[in-house]
Amino acid sequence: MKTWISAFAAVAAGVAFAASAHAATTVIGSTNASDCATAAQHGRSDRAAIDLCNAALRDDNLTIRDRAKTFINHGVMLMRQLNWTGALQDFDQSIALQSDIGEAYVNRGAVMIGLHRYQEGLDLINHGLELGIEDPAKAYYNRGLAHEGLENARDAYLDYQQAVTLSPHWDLPQQQLLRFTVVRH
């Protein structure tokens, strides 16, 4: 029995990115860095939230790991504003400081998806998953977007399914799955 999976409407990269998931990371310690992390995890990217991250990076006596995570959170906020260049600089700074934090690679991969560089995005997300991340459902969701950009409906479908399995109350991957038709012969 063969199984065919197809998406009825390919997601345009801009629309896909608008619905992409951003992997913020937890920082325990300094007030500004912790508040920056909380803001990023709650989807904020306003000036006040970015200022918290800037203050943490400028003023706080952070460990190298917390500084790397703060760069990730700052980059997530810039990515939400579609500031690709700034976000990439932040993720690169994070990787230069601490190369074993998976979220830096997953978010860098999300930027590549936003730039229509799907294979690069997929490779980065895979590396981030190998390193481990706090919320793997977001990585699988973004990997699904990359697979769709590469016109690989089967793997996109499987990644969206994995995102739902890992985070069953998250609507975004469930909405993506509604666009697919699975036919078994």
**Segments in the chain below pLDDT 50:** 1-18
pLDDT at 132: 96
Q: Does residue 143 form part of some domain?
A: no
pLDDT at 61: 86
Q: Does residue 182 form part of some domain?
A: no
What amino acid occupies position 136? P
Q: Count up the domains in the chain and report the number.
A: 1
Q: What pTM was computed for the model?
A: 0.85
Q: Does residue 106 form part of some domain?
A: no
Alpha-carbon torsion (59, 62, 65, 70), positive or negative: negative
pLDDT at 12: 34
Q: Does residue 12 form part of some domain?
A: no
Residue 45's domain comprises 26-98
Q: Does residue 86 form part of some domain?
A: yes
